[in-house]
Amino acid sequence: MGLFAQGNVAIRCTFESSKNDTVSIIPVVYYLDEYEKEYTAILHNRQCEFNVAVTKPAVLQLHYKGSSINLFTEPGNQLEINSKGDSLHYNLSFTGMGATENQWLYSFQKLFGDDFNTGKINVAILSTEVDAFEMKLFEQRKKQLAYYNAAEGKATFSEAFKKFMEHTIQYNYYARLLSYPIIRANQSSQVLTVKAFPKVMLEGIDASLFNDQALCAASYRDFLYYYTIYFTSEANGFNKFKDLNMSLEKKVQTAMGSFKGASLNWLIAYLLNSEVNRVSQYTARHIYDVLSLQEGNGTYTGLLKKKVEARLAAKDVVVTNGSEGPDKATSSSGMNYPKLKGIDGKYFTFDDLKGKVVYVDFWASWCGPCRQQMPYSKQLHGMFNEKQLKELVFLYISIDATEEAWKSGIQQLGIEGLHGISPGNWQSPIAKFFGISGIPRYMLINKKGEIVDLNAKRPSMMQEIYNDILKLME
């Protein structure tokens, strides 16, 4: 079969084609489509050969003439694929090491392919009541397992392939079930909530299902994704998020509270890769830092580095009122935080406040809900003693369009604390940077200058936010 490197997978394909058609194989290694390596070959005398780098059991996608099938391979496999026709739809025959597993997998895909077809499943979700949909999933799983258990030659299947098939069948049920309320909620922007499942329907969906060894199965990855979406929605009262930044932050929080190891690393990378160009620069950098810390600056950190750097280098719209002074400053954390103009006309940024706990209040003089919170803010001030206030800064950041409106609002409301303005209303540099689409918005920064809560509690939640601030002072 030509040159073969030990530990790789060698594949020879034969098609009844008189043309020099292209055949391609994509090993699914990282589980992020855009980073997978594609191997291509041209048919010569109806044949082509591949020598694919595979260091662990992996799915390989075989593409030919607009069709594709999945192969399951392990290091050292030498597989020959023969077609009596000119398409992957004709009966394929497999010989060589790994042939028994792939011959059976080919038949399984032909028989049950629609059960794993996302497009067809989503159509069924939108046209079927939940009880009927769950019953259908249950029956599908039952038939798939029966077919698998009755497989001719099952006793000779490799242990890795057995696990792969069991995971594929098991997690497809859970993934599609959890996707049901999400797909229905996302069918229209007019739908503002996610419909919760009855508790009985969630029985068995718990930490016992989390298994890093199942990552090779696409069904398991789908399960991780929809588990995260569903339980993030639950934590948000089953209300859909209006802010993409907060949505991503909360999904990552849910994932970190649920998964660990390779499953968690992949899910954070998948979420960030999908959303990096839709969220603010701060959120992109923050989630990237979380990923880097979680996996120890590992594989996914390296894969996503260029994409995240491109997002951070992109110029968000920055609107100023023509006053003198730079719009941004590079902090010691590497973030280009927009600068704030103080009452005295001098510019400052978050780094100037290091060593103190900072409670940030994003507001504007024209914002009714912001004004309603100010009396509570005054009361919150009074809960701290003189010594504590030396370690604490109440920072009020206005996004007013003009300094006149900003200063007038401070005077009218009698707001005490440190003041800064980033003018421009919703086009304010600070609002654009943090992706703020609604005020009031609150934030907590610890003494190291690290943002520890992008959506801190309001002053009206006085005892709760008081306790949160005290913890940061310890």
List of domains in the chain: 9-97 (2.60.40), 99-240 (no CATH), 328-473 (3.40.30.10)
C-alpha span between 25 and 203 (Å, rounded) = 39
Indicate the pairing of strand 39-42 with strand 22-28. Answer: antiparallel
| 329 pLDDT more than 80 | no
Structure tokens at 262: 């390779």
- Least confident interval from 49-53, 335-339, 347-351, 404-408: 335-339
Please choose, from the candidates 273, 272, 302, the residue with its C-alpha nearest in 3D space to the C-alpha of residue 287: 272
Q: Which two tokens stand for residue 430?
A: 């600070």
Average pLDDT over residues 136-156: 96
Residues in the chain: 474
Output the average pLDDT for the chain: 90
Helix (H) or strand (E) holding 133: helix 130-149
SS3 assignment, position 188: coil
pLDDT at 336: 61
Sequence-distant (6+) residues with CB within 8 A of 161 are 57, 72, 74, 101, 105
Of these ranges, 90-99, 426-435, 445-454, the one predicted with the greatest mean pLDDT is 90-99
pLDDT band at 455 (very low <50, low <70, confident <90, very high): confident
Average pLDDT over residues 330-353: 78
Residues 269 and 300: beta-carbon distance below 8 Å: yes
pLDDT tens figures, 347-379: 998 889 999 999 999 999 999 999 999 999 999
Task: Tell me which of 2-16, 53-67, 255-269, 306-320 is least confident.
Answer: 306-320
Mean pLDDT across 144-162: 96
Helix (H, G, I), strand (E, B) or coil at 254: helix
> Where are the alpha helices (H) located in 186-298, listed in sequence order?
218-235, 244-258, 261-275, 281-295
Overall average pLDDT of the 293-319 stretch: 83
pLDDT tens-digit series, residues 184-196: 998 887 889 999 9
More confident site: 71 or 350: 71
- Which pLDDT score, from 0 to 100, does residue 149 have? 97
Residue 328 has pLDDT above 50, yes or no: no
Mean pLDDT computed over 393-410: 94
Contact 15, 64 (CB under 8 A): yes
pLDDT at 260: 94
Residue 148 binned pLDDT confidence (cut-offs 50, 70, 90) = very high
Mean pLDDT of 90-101: 93
**Is residue 1 over pLDDT 60?**
no
How much of the chain, in percent, has pLDDT values that exceed 90? 74
Q: How confident is the model at residue 66 (pLDDT cuts 50, 70, 90)?
A: confident
Amino acid at 121: I
- Structure tokens of 330? 């590079």
pLDDT score of 335: 56
Reported as type and span, the H/E element at residue 337 is strand 336-338
| pLDDT for position 437 | 75
Instruction: Give residue 472's identity as a one-letter amino acid code.
Output: L
Give 315's pLDDT tier (boundaries 50, 70, 90): low
Please name which of 365, 426, 427, 421 lies closest in space to residue 396, comparing C-alpha atoms.
421
Please give the backbone phi and psi of residue 44, each rounded to the nearest 5 degrees, phi first: -130, 120
Nearest-CA neighbor of 397 among 440, 350, 362? 362
Q: What is the pLDDT of residue 313?
A: 85
Q: At what angle do helices 159-185 and 218-235 cross, to 10 degrees?
A: 40
Distance CA 337, CA 401 (A): 19
**Run of H or E including 357:** strand 357-363
Residue 18 pLDDT class (50, 70, 90 cuts): low
pLDDT of residue 316: 53
